[in-house]
Structure 1
Amino acid sequence: MSHQSRFNPCKTLESVHGIHVVQHSPFALKQIDQQGNFPQSTSESSGKGLDQLLLMWRVWQQRPGCLRPIQGCIHGDQHLAETVANVITSLPFIVLGIQAPRKNLNTKLYANSLIGVGVVSSLYHSSRGKLRKYLRWFDYTMIATATVCLSRALRNENSKYLTAASAALLPIQPLMVSAIHTGMMEVAFAKRALKDPDLRMAHNLHKMSSLLGGVLFVADDCLPSTPFLHAGWHLAAAIGVGTCNKLLE
């Protein structure tokens, strides 16, 4: 019998309870319990958890643009005076919401949505940092909500499917929802003005304020360094909203 067969270190160590020698690696020792089970390594489990978190973060970063906060117009308010002007010019929407007719549920919803527009706009222009871009999204969404409520208040025959689709698109495409329902409101306003001479003056003022508001909105986006353009858009939009309230009286 050779010396190797007489003395086998693997068999000698394996006879000791709690020690297991891994083949082909005489230096790798692992502790096992009485049932022979290997406990999971703490570093291995924490590594798997970290990998899962990194994977979730990468998936979240690759989400489509429609699920990201709106980035437009986050460059406004170049200085304190412009911030104050934008907050002050947001307050007329609250006043218009308080003064809006509340004849039925639809008109009440519209009036409350106008108050929401003024409040959210004030919060947005008062904010700074990362919170600002989320409040910008909330601002756009609140404006879109007001247009949906106005369209519903003016046209009770609106399709339920249109209302449901608008509600579903509000969080992800508020600008598109605003454009659709604003167009519907413009058509309804024009038809009413043709039938009712008392509304023609309000409609003419509405057309001028809407045109001015559109120009200021585009200019604010194209010329971000020009101060007080956004405040001017607030005022033009407030005049247009005030003329729309005439339709609900």
Structure 2
Amino acid sequence: MDSERKQSSVKAFEGIHGVQLVPRWPFMIQEIPQDVNFSSSCKHDDTTTANHKILMQRIWQMRPPSLTPIHCSHQGDRCVAETIANVLTSLPFIFLGFQAPRRNLTSTLYANSLIGVGVASSLYHSSRGKARKYLRWADYTMIATATVCLSRALRNENPRFLMAASALCLPFQPLIVSAVHTGMMEVAFARRASTKPELRTAHSLHTLSSALGGALFIADDLFPETPYLHAAWHLAAAIGVGTCNKLLE
């Protein structure tokens, strides 16, 4: 009976122009479980993100030692009095930055970097907790930046490769950058003092303060329990920086 009804319904529409009956619907409707698909796609995305993070961590761990940020072990500021001494002896760098000659762009950058040294040192010594190690890194990096700016202000003909390499190494090896550019400054200071008698007194004072500052810096590392060594190093370094300003006048 069902087949006869279907055939009669088909014959009823055969005479109508433009009507074509298809025995079966050409499209198949299939219900897709949305929750399963979305959950599986989310799991796939999470797995991809996790694998990407692991890959980046492995690449970072395989970096050469020269690209490893420094880990500072300074254990000063054990009491309020030592903290106050370290902060107060950081302020002369800010004063020297304001007093430094600003004849051109390079000397202006150096003067501003000295102000940055005083600010970074003050923030580090007054800090506590987890922020302390990051501020110590900023302190070292700011000192290295000041040495780079000083050597640039003294010698505009410095090789571009050296300046680019110094800028690249600043975040990772500030101590090495400081040593290289401090050595360049010492050579320039000695050469100018040999030809300009008015600089000989400043150069002699600079040599003494640099030697004293180097000894205090080493002693501060070897005898971390001795108080106020770091503050004494601040003062010796400030005297050395003040004599360097004579080169820019």
Query: For the superposition of Structure 1 and Structure 2, which TM-score range results when normalised by the shorter chain?
Result: 0.7 to 0.9
Partner of residue 37, structure 2: 39
Contact 1:74 1:132 in 2 (8 A): no
Question: C-alpha separation between the residues in 1 aligned to 2:124 and 2:186?
Answer: 28
Q: Given the two structures, how large is their TM-score scaled by the length of structure 1?
A: 0.79
- Please tell me whether Structure 1 or Structure 2 has the larger radius of gyration of its CA atoms: 2
| AA aligned opposite 1:234 | H
1:39 shift after superposition? 3.0
| AA aligned opposite 1:78 | R
User: RMSD over aligned Cα, in angstroms?
Assistant: 2.4
Q: Equivalent residues in 2 for 1:48-197 (5 A)?
A: 48=47, 51-52=50-51, 55=54, 59=58, 62=61, 64=63, 65-197=65-197
1:172 shift after superposition? 1.1
Q: Residues 192, 229 of structure 1: CA spacing in aligned structure 2 closer, same or farther, 3 A cutoff? A: same
Partner of residue 3, structure 2: none
Question: C-alpha separation between the residues in 2 aligned to 1:61 and 1:79?
Answer: 37
Contact 2:110 2:146 in 1 (8 A): yes
Partner of residue 204, structure 2: 204
| AA aligned opposite 1:238 | A
Q: Which stretch of structure 1 is more off in the superposition, 238-247 or 68-77?
A: 68-77
Give the secondary structure class of the aligned counterpart of 2:37.
Answer: coil
Contact 1:69 1:134 in 2 (8 A): no
Q: Residues 86, 36 of structure 1: CA spacing in aligned structure 2 closer, same or farther, 3 A cutoff? A: closer
Q: Equivalent residues in 2 for 1:221-240 (5 A)?
A: 221-240=221-240
Contact 1:69 1:133 in 2 (8 A): no
Gaps of 5+ in 2: 1-29
Runs of 4+ in 1 over 4 A off after TM superposition: 40-47, 49-54, 63-69
1:146 shift after superposition? 0.4
1:101 shift after superposition? 0.5
| AA aligned opposite 2:37 | P
Question: C-alpha separation between the residues in 2 aligned to 1:129 and 1:63?
Answer: 29
Q: Equivalent residues in 2 for 1:237-248 (5 A)?
A: 237-248=237-248
Question: C-alpha separation between the residues in 1 aligned to 2:53 and 2:187?
Answer: 51
Give the secondary structure class of the aligned counterpart of 2:153.
Answer: helix
Q: Residues 105, 46 of structure 1: CA spacing in aligned structure 2 closer, same or farther, 3 A cutoff? A: closer
Question: C-alpha separation between the residues in 1 aligned to 2:67 and 2:132?
Answer: 16
Residues 119-170 of structure 1 show CA distances to partners (whole Å, capped at 9, x for unaligned) of 0000011111111111111111110110011001111211122111111111
Aligned residues: 217
